[in-house]
């Protein structure tokens, strides 16, 4: 019989609250014959304060044994900026070679967005997940003097660019509109930018049915707001993808709805699913967080593991729940309960 062996990292702030709802809906949607096993990992700010550890090797090894990882959020103001982000979240993405960071955007019904009433918006950003300026390739010199120098070098390998570009073509080819847009800044970042464009064009020859487009990232931000319906699949580097997907979330219904998947397409390591939003310490512990982004991330997790029908049930339930929202405030728990009822019914 089928089974899912899931690692759960609730993490910091609202991560704890939203992950509980994600698990609630996951349990509700799975058929009786699927055995769900979960193991919770105590990683994040509390762990760091207690032991000074971010992601010990023993935990990293143990995480490898799961089918997938569900993560809430990482980061807390009581920990120096970067310690948990680099030492835990990015360490996981790099160690498990999550080179496809998939971030879909849909204009859901009845959501507070500047784009309400616009043509259908349904695009997905394929953000590179293991390279760019995120690798820690940089340094500081003469710190604390007026002559201080800091560098943050963007790392782009032909190997790394080609594999994510190819994944994006595959995704575009499988969608009805078959359109792929490369976003970069090759008028200024000529070294990385030209390599991305060259690889994008070369791989594109293998996908004659896919229509291609190129946009500089600054121009792309304009179109995200004025003409988002022009996008189908977007492929871009790690940092541009980070920024663009927050913007995408904001214009299509808010960061409370934005899901993401850190995928290792080769399946050498478990993929990891998390909301795009952070730990939101300002509203943590108050039951105010919208768990929908995490619940939609659970749908991405299910699709990755081959549970397509269950993934679709979650997405339909979210659309129905949003359509029924009347503006009155609901707690984190109430939204989770409502979605659990919808997916079961
Ligand atoms: C995200 C986050 C992370 C990122 C941070 C917390 C390291 O903003 O998942 O988008 O920049 O990738
Ligand atoms: Mn981000």
Domain count, the chain: 2
User: Strand order in 271-275's β-sheet?
Assistant: 35-40, 3-11, 68-73, 271-275, 259-263, 100-106, 122-128, 233-236, 179-184, 211-216
Q: What separation in Å is there between the alpha carbon of 13 and the centre of ligand 2? A: 16
Residue 130 falls inside a structural domain: no
pLDDT, average across residues 307-333:
95
Whether the per-residue pLDDT at 214 is higher than 80: the answer is: yes
Burial pattern 19-52, b for ≥16 Cβ within 10 A else e, equals bbbbbbbbebbbeeeeeeeeeebebbbebbeeee
- Note down the domain range covering 245: 113-124+135-252
Instruction: For residue 2, give the CATH number of its domain.
Output: 3.40.718.10
Q: Name the domain boundary from 252, 268, 287.
A: 252
Same domain for 202 and 118: yes
Confidence label for 119 from pLDDT (cuts 50, 70 and 90): confident
**φ, ψ dihedrals at 140, nearest 5°:** -120, 145
pLDDT value, residue 325: 87
Confidence label for 262 from pLDDT (cuts 50, 70 and 90): very high
Instruction: Choose one of 44, 80, 85 to mutate for the ligand 1 pocket test, by most ligand atoms within 8 angstroms of C-beta.
Output: 85
pLDDT, average across residues 24-53:
97
Same domain for 242 and 274: no
Considering every ligand atom shown, identify the ligand nearest to the alpha carbon of residue 71 and give its number. Answer: 1
Q: Please give the share of the chain, as a percent, with pLDDT higher than 70.
A: 100
Q: Tell me if residue 99 is catalytic.
A: no
For ligand 1, atom 11: residue with the closest CA? 242
Same domain for 150 and 31: no
Same domain for 264 and 232: no
Token pair for residue 322?
């949003």
Same domain for 170 and 84: no
What is the complex's ipTM, to 2 decimals? 0.99
Q: What atom of ligand 1 comes closest to residue 245's alpha carbon?
A: 10
Q: Name the domain boundary from 226, 252, 278.
A: 252
- Distances in Å between the alpha carbon of 124 and those of 58, 172, 235, 241, 274? 35, 9, 9, 11, 15
Whether the per-residue pLDDT at 7 is higher than 90: the answer is: yes
Question: How many degrees, rounded to 5, is the angle at CA 194 between CA 103 and CA 218?
Answer: 50
Question: How many degrees, rounded to 5, is the angle at CA 61 between CA 265 and CA 94?
Answer: 45
Same domain for 172 and 230: yes
Sign of the alpha-carbon dihedral angle for 114, 116, 119, 124: positive
Q: Cβ contacts of residue 174 below 8 Å, gap of 6+? A: none
Q: Please give the share of the chain, as a percent, with pLDDT higher than 90.
A: 92
Whether the per-residue pLDDT at 1 is higher than 70: the answer is: no
């Amino acid at each position: 019989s089928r089974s899912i062996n899931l690692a759960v990292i609730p993490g910091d702030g609202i991560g704890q609250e939203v992950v509980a709802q994600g698990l609630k809906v996951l349990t509700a949607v799975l058929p009786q014959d699927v055995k769900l096993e979960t193991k919770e990992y105590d990683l994040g700010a509390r762990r760091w304060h207690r032991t000074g550890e971010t992601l010990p090797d023993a935990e990293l090894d143990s995480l490898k044994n799961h089918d997938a990882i569900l993560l809430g959020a990482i980061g807390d103001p009581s920990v120096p900026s970067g310690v948990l982000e680099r030492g835990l979240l990015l360490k996981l993405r790099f160690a498990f070679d999550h080179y496809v960071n998939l971030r879909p955007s849909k204009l859901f019904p009845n959501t507070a967005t500047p784009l309400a009433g616009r043509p259908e918006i349904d695009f997905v950003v394929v953000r590179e997940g293991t390279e760019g300026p995120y690798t820690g390739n940089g340094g500081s010199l003469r710190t604390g003097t007026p002559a201080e120098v800091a560098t943050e070098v963007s790392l782009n390998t032909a190997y790394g660019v080609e594999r994510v570009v190819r994944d994006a073509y595959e995704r575009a080819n499988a969608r009805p509109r078959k359109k792929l847009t490369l976003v970069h800044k090759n008028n200024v970042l000529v070294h990385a930018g030209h390599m991305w464009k060259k690889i994008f064009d070369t791989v594109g020859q293998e996908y004659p049915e896919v229509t291609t487009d190129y946009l500089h990232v600054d121009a792309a931000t304009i179109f995200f707001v004025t003409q988002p319906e022009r996008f189908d699949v977007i492929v871009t580097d790690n940092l541009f993808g980070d920024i663009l997907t927050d913007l995408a979330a904001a214009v299509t219904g808010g960061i409370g709805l934005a899901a993401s998947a850190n995928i290792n397409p080769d399946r050498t390591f478990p993929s990891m699913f998390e909301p795009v939003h952070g730990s939101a310490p300002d509203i943590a512990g108050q039951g105010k967080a919208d768990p929908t982004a995490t619940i939609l991330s659970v749908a991405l997790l299910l699709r990755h593991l081959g549970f397509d029908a269950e993934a679709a049930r979650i997405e339909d339930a979210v659309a129905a729940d949003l359509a029924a929202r009347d503006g009155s405030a609901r707690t984190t728990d109430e939204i989770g309960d409502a979605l659990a009822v919808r997916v079961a019914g």
